[in-house]
Amino acid sequence: MALSKPKIPGTAQHFLECGVEDCERNCEFYCNSCHQQMCKQCSEEHLKISENMNHEVVLYQLRKRQLPVQKCKIHPTKDIDILCKECNIPLCSKCVTMQEHQGHRFTDLETIYTDKFKVCQKELSKIHNYFIPTSQDLQREVREDATEFKQIMDSIQTSMKAEAQSLKNMVDTVLSENMEELHQIEKSLLEKLQIQEKTFDDYIAYLSSLVKEFQSYLSSTELTNFTTQLPENLQIKSIPETTKPVKPEFSSAQYSKKEVAKLLGKITETNRKETLRRVKPMGTVSFSTLIKSTSEQDKDVKSDKKQTLSLSASVTKVREFNVAGVDGVFHVSPDQPGRLWISESKGNLVQTDLLGNVIQKIKTSGGDRGYHTFTQDRDLIFTDKDKNVINRITQDNNITEFIKTGDWFPFSIHSSHINGDLLVGMMKRQMGKVTRYNTTGKELQNIQRDNKGQKLYSFPIYITVNINGDICTSDYFNGVVVVNKSGQHRFSYRGQESRFHPYGICTDVLVHILVCDGVSQTVHLLDQDGQFLSLLLTQQQGLYIPYSVCVDDENNLCVGQAQSNTLTVYKYLK
């Protein structure tokens, strides 16, 4: 008999498919401009079309949420997709022309919806990653306190019983000694009384003898006996003198209950007031320096710290703080001690202190890429992909165009800690390259292909320089691409799974390479030759779409996430 196919439960989930017609591959990306879900291959083809070049293609997790279809009540054939900022009510495109909205300001409702959606996701993330775990930790602490206090009470009870038994033993000892003393007194008194009793026995015997003698005289018929034998001056011996013993007395101690309680000790509660349980903070921190300048990092590399550090057996969270004015932490550049520049997806570049307070904000064309860096001269450098220029902000806050990149879009930039050279990742028509400039802006080197003529880059969005001079680039489509200082290809790292899209990248004093993977939502740790060492951070440690990484002055790893304004610091070296 043929077996029937097992029934698939109604709750079974299917993988997310590419939305392009006739494509059956898995969906990885999303075009916010045309609300199309796509696989890697289709997203590349989509961007090759000239009219789509400026479309915003992002990871599916970072997509803009398409508005739910809701018809306008006034114009039933129109969809609601606009928000009147004056009236704060959603409208359709036809409502905008109505008399009551003339002169009002409007905004895209889809943007508002996406932002609100992100807020909900962020709050849910806080609940799942902070509030619930923290509450569970406190609950466990309460249970541990209950167990501890039960043990304390048992210990006190044992001590009380031991104290009472000790007092009882002393009472028994004192009673035994008193009974013995009483016995000795009784024995002495009885012996004395026995002697007195014998004295009277002897005296009574003497009197009995005397009585007999006198009776013999009285009964005699011989008169001569009275004259010859009976003494004329007969005297009876006096009654012996004896003393009456003093009676022993017992004086009771007359102890009160309070006096006995004093002997047994007393249960007392401590005079200290109850303290609030410590709830670990979600964001606020105060520490002197999070990330030091690149020149100081170079000094550390030359010190013997490198020889004393090694990988720790575990990764632990050290601290974290929230950055006001951003919706995510997409890239971090260290400023002067105690200050950072942090960018987000909407192009806001924010200078902040280490408590998350905004010092200043600049609106740029940048987004989810490493488009800013600090030079050895403490100037802020950032790219403008809309104008194809690289800007410099000096310490007196003057913004100038520093380098023009022609028809190449500058995406990522990094100032070398070694010699101050600028390494810029650029893109043009699905071609990518890394260009080296000196400190004056003179072009020194272009890196595009390996020694076999194969292109190395397609979409270089983050870039850094290792302390051995290697240029390490996160390419959205080609993985981590590493070349030496001469531009010779050393290796490419494409992750541990079939899908791998790197974002933020940095190096440490042990020449490790640390890179974020937006697909698996992990941070990978590589050695200087591209050998995979471990998944340093994962979702199990509360990671959600990691985008930026850097190493602070304490050799800790600082991680920023796409949908959270929290910068988290982890210890992974010892």
Q: For 302, how many CA atoms within 13 A lie in the half-sphere containing its CB?
A: 8
Confidence of residue 68 (pLDDT cuts 50, 70, 90): confident
CA angle centred on 424, ends 423 and 430, rounded to 5°? 140
Say whether domain 294-573 belongs to CATH 2.120.10.30: yes
Closest CA to 485 of 416, 531, 532: 416
**Cα 454 from Cα 72, distance rounded (Å):** 54
Strand partners, 373: 381
DSSP assignment string, 508-531:
-TT--EEEEETTTTEEEEE-TT--
Closest CA to 291 of 243, 249, 334: 334
pLDDT of 2 over the 60 cut:
no
Residue 245: predicted pLDDT = 85
Strand, helix or coil at 151? helix
**Cα 389 from Cα 422, distance rounded (Å):** 13
Strand partners, 435: 424, 446
**Cα 451 from Cα 462, distance rounded (Å):** 23
**Cα 43 from Cα 37, distance rounded (Å):** 9
**Cα 72 from Cα 487, distance rounded (Å):** 59
Asked if residue 294 lies in contact with residue 536, where contact means CB atoms within 8 angstroms, the answer is no
Q: pLDDT for 118-164, tens place per residue?
A: 788 778 878 887 888 888 888 888 998 888 888 888 888 888 888 88
**Residue 26 gets which letter from DSSP?**
B
Look-up of token digits 């591959």: 25
Q: What CATH number should be reported for the domain whose range is 29-112?
A: 3.30.160.60
Asked if residue 18 lies in contact with residue 25, where contact means CB atoms within 8 angstroms, the answer is yes
Asked if residue 535 lies in contact with residue 523, where contact means CB atoms within 8 angstroms, the answer is yes
Asked if residue 535 lies in contact with residue 267, where contact means CB atoms within 8 angstroms, the answer is no
Confidence of residue 298 (pLDDT cuts 50, 70, 90): very low
Encoding tokens for residue 94? 């036809």
Instruction: Give the residue extent of every domain in the chain.
Output: 29-112, 115-264, 294-573
Strand partners, 558: 550, 569
CA angle centred on 406, ends 402 and 408, rounded to 5°? 105
Look-up of token digits 């003529």: 453
Residue 541: predicted pLDDT = 85
DSSP assignment string, 49-85:
SGGGTT--EEEGGGPPPPPPP-B-SSSTTSBEEEEET
Residue 232: predicted pLDDT = 64
Which residues, other chains included, contact 550 with Cβ-Cβ below 8 Å and sequence gap of 6+? 291, 332, 334, 504, 506, 557, 558
List C-alpha distances in Å: 100 to 73, 77, 82, 95: 16, 20, 15, 9
Q: List alpha helices for 84-131, DSSP H.
A: 109-126
pLDDT of 53 over the 70 cut:
yes
Confidence of residue 406 (pLDDT cuts 50, 70, 90): very high
Which residues, other chains included, contact 349 with Cβ-Cβ below 8 Å and sequence gap of 6+? 341, 342, 343, 361, 362, 363, 364, 366, 372, 382
pLDDT of 26 over the 80 cut:
yes
pLDDT of 9 over the 50 cut:
no
**Cα 359 from Cα 341, distance rounded (Å):** 10
Asked if residue 402 lies in contact with residue 384, where contact means CB atoms within 8 angstroms, the answer is no
Q: pLDDT for 247-291, tens place per residue?
A: 888 887 777 777 777 777 777 766 667 778 777 776 433 333 333
Choice between 313 and 522, residue whose per-residue pLDDT is larger: 522
Which residues, other chains included, contact 569 with Cβ-Cβ below 8 Å and sequence gap of 6+? 290, 317, 318, 319, 320, 552, 556, 557, 558, 559
Regarding beta strands 311-322 and 331-334, do their DSSP bridges make them parallel or antiparallel, or are they unpaired? unpaired
List C-alpha distances in Å: 296 to 170, 287, 301, 426, 509: 74, 18, 9, 29, 12
H-helix or E-strand spanning residue 167: helix 132-218
**Cα 193 from Cα 186, distance rounded (Å):** 10
**Residue 152 gets which letter from DSSP?**
H
**Residue 303 gets which letter from DSSP?**
S
pLDDT of 302 over the 90 cut:
no
Q: pLDDT for 459-479, tens place per residue?
A: 999 999 999 999 999 998 899
Which residues, other chains included, contact 528 with Cβ-Cβ below 8 Å and sequence gap of 6+? 466, 468, 470, 511, 512, 513
- Greatest alpha-carbon pair distance for the chain in Å reads 182
Indicate the range of 111-125, 193-207, 493-507, 510-524 predicted with least confidence: 111-125
Closest CA to 104 of 113, 114, 96, 112: 96
